[in-house]
């Protein structure tokens, strides 16, 4: 408030000096936002690429100089961490569990079970119960998380904090009218009067500041929306959901900064031009590529390793970029550019076989390495030649000062190394279908269905075998009676038989059928299949199947059952909400740090809508429609609700029914302009009416004055001849003449 008062006093002083000029509120705020200093291609975060339209930049950090001995030392240390984390995952049975889930999803038996079935002569039938559940869960969750722009909302904070320049402009605009009133005569008003005016105008100042904060929040939302569309949010989130529903655990990387060759439209030359651009994208990481250190429960603490893959041409684009080591990149391309290189884990062979990527050699040409996030003491960093931290400070040469390091290793070459800021979060988060307390890897629907899948497979195989045996009769031959050595059955066959003196009633050939128990086995299969619905919390009717029984045969009952099932999966949607919120927040922080456009930056709150959308968005939209109908019918509620509140409700209904944006109500900013224009028109109309009323009153007063003067000059109302002024005698019209 002190700033507002001081601004008013300055404005009055300028008015006295004749230097005051009124300004339009919207234009002043916009010009202030645009006048804030802009970044340029010389920003160290740009990585040497002049960006023409979209400010895409690499991660900030100075280039590290690492000589060849240092390369060997740091690569040996990080490869040791890789071997330790890989052994930890294999010895704890994580690889075996992931392989079992992949086998179930692929409808395949493991090698031991398949050999046993072949030995017993049973068919290796595998019923896709687990895969069906994984598909259902994926479709159920993907509906609410893959559409990036509808996943989140951005609002300004309840008490937003903006730049001092914007606040000053808002305060000056709010008080400009007062300056015209209290300083019209050129006299400085008393400070107490200024304080009273400032107190009266404080809500107006706060409204203008909040309106500017909301405008910036909307601009940031559009910027993040464009990043999601261009960065492949939908595909990455769908892959994340699929991996999580199959294996129980996956990871999401955001933003993934890459150098890619792009084509853009050059407005000056009016043609498409090629350029190397730094892009931000999203990526789902398979649990087969996650290697946490022992004791880790999340990706942000401990030595985290993620397996990465590059094409030779992709790796070559990173030469000359900050924190990338050109000599190491070139050496890796020389060693592995032709045939590629792999980092093998115990589960990789089975995985490639089941996914159709098994080959004898390395013909794919992929260069595999690993990315490391972890803490390294200062002495070790100084030994390998890293001397500067993320802020440009000197790294302490001690064993008790630790720094967070992000590095990429290919073979024995460290191709990327950067010392991270301690306040910077790692751009990767793990998501689990169901959490296991104190564990990094969780469990998913396929883990819960493992025993049920085996029982259903056994019951299904036995039912198929029983149907096959019961479909054709079995033949019994009494060799003491039958003398024909040819026992094959055919039409018109003649059997040679002799009587058996000991059993004269014996039949040489008889037929019988095995008991048909397939129905009982099918009942067992159905029972355990329904048990799988309860164990996983994913009902069969959630995928649209018509196998409905009981309450699910009616619309109301089905809605109740779906609501009950939603309660069992809501915590899973909440897990994806957390990951989406962290990913979007990191993208927002990226723009706050590196984007030169200051007009999109502000104090905002990010809200993820996946869990809310999961709770029947159409039902909520229907309830809002009913609420609007009640408001339109109730006059008292209609008086309480203004146009802005109704417009917000209509926008929520548009989102609930997936309607086009602003089809039921105009945008909030447009509606504000309309209401402001209507208010000005009403004020102008009222002012015109008041002026007309004043003119009418003046005319009436003038007429009364003239009548009074005439009465004074002619008291009796006589004509100039002295006779009374009688009304003229009416002249008969033609219609009255007979």
Helix (H, G, I), strand (E, B) or coil at 708: helix
**Residues paired with 250 in a beta bridge:** 431
Annotate 450-475 with b (16+ C-beta within 10 A) or e (fewer): eebbebbbebbbbbebbeeeeeeeee
| Separation of alpha carbons 410 and 341, rounded Å | 9
**Residues paired with 497 in a beta bridge:** 482
In this predicted structure, the answer to whether residue 52 has a pLDDT above a threshold of 50 is no
| Separation of alpha carbons 197 and 191, rounded Å | 10
> Each residue of 495-551: pLDDT tens digit?
888 877 777 778 878 888 888 888 999 999 999 998 988 888 887 655 555 444 444
| Separation of alpha carbons 597 and 599, rounded Å | 6
| Separation of alpha carbons 29 and 208, rounded Å | 9
Which residues does 614 contact at the CB level (< 8 Å), separation at least 6? 141, 144, 566, 569, 570, 573
Identify whether the C-beta of residue 161 lies closer than 8 Å to the C-beta of residue 209.
no
Burial class of residue 362 (count of CB atoms within 10 Å of its CB; 0-12, 13-18, 19+): middle
Helix 129-145 / helix 94-105 crossing angle, nearest 10 deg: 100
Q: What is the pTM of this model?
A: 0.70
| Separation of alpha carbons 445 and 536, rounded Å | 6
User: What's the pLDDT band for 176 if we cut at 50, 70, 90?
Assistant: low
The total number of residues shown for the chain amounts to 738
User: What's the pLDDT band for 590 if we cut at 50, 70, 90?
Assistant: confident
The CB density around residue 620, as the number of other CB atoms within 10 Å, is 16
| Separation of alpha carbons 473 and 478, rounded Å | 16
> Each residue of 432-450: pLDDT tens digit?
999 999 999 999 999 999 9
Residue 713 confidence (pLDDT)? 66
In this predicted structure, the answer to whether residue 58 has a pLDDT above a threshold of 50 is no
Residue 250 confidence (pLDDT)? 96
């Amino acid at each position: 408030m002190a700033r507002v008062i001081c601004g008013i006093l300055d404005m009055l002083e300028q008015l006295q000096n004749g230097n005051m000029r009124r300004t339009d509120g919207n234009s002043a705020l916009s010009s202030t936002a645009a006048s804030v200093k802009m970044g340029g291609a010389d920003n160290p975060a740009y990585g040497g690429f002049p960006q023409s339209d979209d400010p895409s930049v690499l991660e900030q950090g100075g280039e590290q100089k690492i000589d060849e001995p240092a390369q060997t030392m740091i690569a040996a240390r990080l490869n040791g961490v890789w071997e330790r984390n890989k052994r930890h995952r294999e010895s704890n049975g994580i690889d075996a569990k992931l392989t079992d889930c992949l086998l179930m999803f692929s409808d395949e038996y493991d090698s031991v079970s398949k050999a046993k079935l072949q030995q017993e002569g049973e068919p290796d039938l595998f019923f896709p119960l687990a895969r069906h559940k994984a598909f259902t869960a994926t479709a159920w969750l993907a509906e609410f998380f893959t559409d990036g722009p509808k996943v989140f909302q951005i609002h300004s904070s309840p008490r937003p904090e903006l730049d001092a320049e914007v606040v000053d402009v808002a305060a000056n605009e709010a008080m400009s009218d007062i300056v015209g009133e209290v300083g019209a005569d050129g006299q400085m008003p008393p400070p107490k009067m200024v304080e009273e005016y400032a107190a009266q105008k404080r809500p107006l100042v706060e409204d203008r500041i909040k309106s500017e904060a909301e405008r910036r929040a909307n601009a940031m939302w559009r910027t993040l929306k464009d990043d999601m569309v261009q960065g492949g949010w939908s595909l990455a989130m769908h892959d994340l959901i699929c991996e999580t529903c199959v294996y129980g655990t996956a990871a999401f990387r955001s933003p993934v900064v890459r150098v890619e060759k792009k084509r853009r439209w050059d407005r000056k030359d009016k043609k498409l031009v090629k350029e190397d651009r730094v892009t931000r994208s999203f990526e789902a990481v398979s649990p087969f590529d996650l290697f946490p250190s022992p004791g880790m429960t999340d990706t942000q603490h401990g030595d985290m390793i993620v397996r990465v893959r590059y094409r030779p041409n992709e790796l070559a684009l990173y030469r000359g970029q900050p924190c990338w080591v050109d000599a190491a990149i070139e050496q890796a391309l020389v060693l592995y550019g032709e045939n590629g290189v792999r980092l093998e884990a115990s589960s990789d062979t089975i995985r490639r076989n089941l996914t159709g990527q098994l080959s004898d050699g390395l013909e794919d040409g992929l260069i595999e390495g690993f990315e490391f996030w972890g803490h390294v003491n200062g002495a070790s960093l100084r030994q390998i030649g890293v001397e500067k931290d993320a802020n440009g400070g000197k790294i302490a040469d001690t064993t008790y000062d630790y720094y967070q390091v992000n590095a990429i290793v290919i073979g024995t070459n460290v191709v990327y190394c950067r010392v991270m800021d301690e306040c910077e979060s790692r751009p990767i988060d793990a998501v689990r279908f169901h959490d296991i307390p104190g564990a990094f890897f969780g469990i998913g629907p396929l883990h819960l269905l493992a025993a049920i899948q085996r029982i259903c497979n056994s019951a299904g195989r036995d039912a198929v075998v029983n149907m096959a045996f019961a479909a054709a009769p079995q033949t019994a031959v009494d060799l003491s009676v039958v003398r024909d050595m040819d026992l094959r059955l055919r039409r018109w066959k003649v059997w040679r038989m002799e009587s058996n003196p000991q059993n004269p009633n014996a039949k040489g050939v008889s037929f019988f059928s095995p008991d048909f128990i397939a129905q009982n086995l099918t009942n067992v299969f159905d029972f355990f299949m329904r048990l799988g619905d309860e164990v996983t919390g994913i009902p069969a009717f959630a995928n649209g199947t018509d196998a409905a029984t009981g309450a699910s045969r009616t619309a109301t009952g089905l809605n109740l059952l779906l609501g009950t099932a939603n309660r069992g999966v809501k915590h899973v949607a909440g897990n994806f909400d957390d990951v989406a919120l962290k990913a979007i927040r990191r993208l927002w922080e990226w723009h706050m740090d590196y984007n030169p456009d200051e007009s999109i930056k502000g104090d905002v709150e990010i809200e993820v809508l996946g869990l809310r959308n999961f709770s029947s968005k159409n039902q909520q939209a229907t309830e809002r429609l009913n609420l609007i109908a009640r408001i339109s019918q109730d006059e008292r509620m209609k008086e309480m609700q203004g146009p802005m509140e109704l417009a917000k409700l209509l926008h929520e209904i548009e989102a609930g029914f997936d309607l086009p944006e602003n089809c039921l109500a105009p945008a909030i900013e447009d509606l504000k302009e309309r209401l402001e224009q209507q208010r000005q028109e009403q004020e102008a109309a009222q002012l015109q009416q008041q002026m007309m009323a004043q003119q009418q009153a003046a005319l009436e007063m003038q007429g009364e004055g003239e009548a009074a003067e005439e009465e004074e000059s002619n008291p009796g109302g006589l004509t100039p001849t002295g006779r009374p002024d009688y009304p003229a005698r009416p002249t008969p019209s033609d219609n009255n003449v007979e």
